[in-house]
Structure 1
Amino acid sequence: MATTTVTSADGTTIAVETAGDGTPVVLIGGAFNDRSTVAGLAAALAPHVAAVTYDRRGRGGSDDKDPAGFRVEREVEDLAAVLAHVGGSAGVFGHSSGALLALEGVLSGLPISRLAMYEPPVIVPGTRPAPPAGALERLRALTEAGDRDAAAALFLTEQVGVPAEVVEGMKSGPAWGFMSGQAHTLGYDVAVSARNADPRDARLAAIGVPVLVQNGGAGEAWMAEGAAALAASVPGARHEVLPGEDHAVLQRPENLAPSLAAFFA
């Protein structure tokens, strides 16, 4: 793997890693993710494409010149810098809120040639309650206070819908340290999800690149309905269900890579 950095429009340094050769495909993780969490997928795709991973701002090897700004435009600028680095145009895959960042890149006119999204957190009305209002402001306050545990707990309960008692149990688990370590960036996930929450958004009809929307057959019903509705709103988009999979598909890249390699080939 080749690792380097690129500079975003506001001076933020973004860490970028490339595995393999061929057509570049940028992989974007969602909340509580950095480039290490998509590294397995990158390795699985590397025999077929140049798989490009990067740390979204504030995570891993990337800094953030606009901390607690949580502006979607900053993350779009970061993606633009990554695309410029890999040759000016690329396919993009996003997981969860990373899928909505990739979608926002397409809607913003970035040179994205093909777009694949796995379980973007869009909500068909009536399939689950909408997240409470004001989450971004509460996350900003917790971030500025340095309380990452509380920020992670707020996101999990309000945005994901994990029961509070389950979150309390997670705090003693082995993954909590990694999750709380990313918690100061969760405002970006909230912001991009809020902007793209409606899978029937009229803006989607203007998308002119090939789009693949996936969900797991063993995942949550509201995510499956959202994926299907989003695909139906994009001209020519394809909806695909991965049998037996759920939202944690990045932990099993061998189940995801074949369909993506075929789509981006």
Structure 2
Amino acid sequence: MGTVDSKDGTTITYTRYGSGPAVVLVDGALAAQEFGPNKALAEALSSRYTVYTYDRRGRGGSGDNRPVDVEREFEDLDAVIGLGAEPVMLYGISSGGGLILDWLLSGRSARKVALYEVPFVVDDTRPPLPADYVEHLNSLLAQGKSGAAIKYFMRQGVRLPALMVAAFPFFPGWSHLKTVAPTMAYDIQYVAEFQRGRELPTARWAGLDLPVTIIVGSKSPAWIRNANAALAAAIPGAEHRILPGQTHLVKAAALAPALIEFYG
């Protein structure tokens, strides 16, 4: 692992794999380099690319200067991208894809962008977020109720079954989740606006001018498949790809070939 300083001086921890054209992988909510899917994906891509994973601020070995401001996360991504010697390609999973979309809308650009299952909600195939979801989640976090915040996020945001969520404290990764729970305040800013069960504002992404692929798993719930089809339709020229047999917990062995085909 190495470190790089973000613009505000926050230390961001990263890992570099392989050699070749540069690819940066962006985690979704609660994930980090040692707790999430991107480590296996980086290893699967490393024979063809120089792959960078990193701990988003507040996770793993990275610092976090408050207050929460998504521009700081954009600058963190800038810092990691700056490690490469050429325009990089990006990959984001779940709310990490939402981060990349907002990073692009801030006026930044990349060579190519691949997104996996950005968790928008665009129809009635699942209940939308509660009207006070963002306020309630932030309130729990502000009170230091990390466990309650995680359960609320998993139940209302992810829509996991109640019995599964109740069992979370008994899972091996519970201590990690509680440690990084405050970072959910970042993730909800990238996706909550579009989790209300309404059509996407297609004009929002109409100005994006780069190759984009939107990928989903065939076994993922209808709500997330429908949302990503709508997202692909809203981005000019975007590809839409379905991986047979995959869910939101996508396997690197299934995803890597699709990314290699897209990145070239």
For the 8 Å contact 2:123–2:223, the answer to whether it is kept is no
1:17-28 alignment to 2 at 5 Å?
A: 17-28=15-26
Structure 2 counterpart of 1:212: 213
1:108 to 88, 106, 109: 106
Q: Counterpart in 2 of 1:231?
A: 232
Q: Which moved more, 1:145-154 or 1:33-42?
A: 145-154
- Relative to structure 2, which stretch is displaced further, 169-178 or 135-144? 135-144
Q: Percent identity?
A: 40
Deviations 1:81-108 (A, max 9, x none): 2112223631100000011111112221
Q: Which residue of 1 aligns with 2:49?
A: 49
TM-score normalised per structure 2: 0.92
Q: Is the 8 A contact 1:70 1:188 kept in 2?
A: yes
Query: Which letter does structure 2 place at the counterpart of 1:62?
Result: S
Confirm or deny: 8 A CA contact 1:28 1:98 kept in the other structure: yes
The AA in structure 2 aligned to 1:260 is L
- 8 Å CA contact retained: 1:83, 1:111: no
| SS class of match (1:27) | strand
The code of the aligned residue for 1:96 comes to S
* Deviation by residue 1:24-71 (Cα, 9 ceiling, x = unmatched): 1100110120122211100000001111101011000101011xx332
Determine the structure 1 residue equivalent to 2:8: 10
Residues 6 and 13 of structure 1 are in contact (CA less than 8 Å); yes or no, is this contact kept in structure 2? yes
Is the CA contact (8 Å cut-off) linking 2:122 and 2:223 kept in structure 1? yes
Equivalent residue, structure 2, for 1:243: 244
Structure 2: gaps (5+ residues): none
AA aligned to 2:253 is: E
- Structure 1: stretches of 5+ with no match in the other structure: none
**Could you say what secondary structure the match of 1:117 adopts?**
strand
Equivalent position SS for 1:115: strand
Most deviating of 220-229 and 133-142: 133-142
Shift of 1:195: 4.6
Match of 2:76 in 1: 78
3-state secondary structure, aligned to 1:94:
strand
Asked if structure 2 preserves the Cα contact closer than 8 Å seen for 1:88 and 1:111, the reply is no
Q: How big is the shift at 1:196?
A: 5.3
SS at match of 2:260: helix
Give the root-mean-square deviation of aligned CA atoms: 1.7
Question: 2: distance between equivalents of 1:243 and 1:120?
Answer: 18
Question: For residues 107 and 87 of structure 1, what CA distance do their matches in structure 2 show?
Answer: 23
Does the CA contact (< 8 Å) of 2:215 and 2:242 recur in 1? yes
1:144 to 138, 142, 145: 142
Q: TM-score, normalised by structure 1?
A: 0.92
Distance 2:243 2:219 in 1: 8
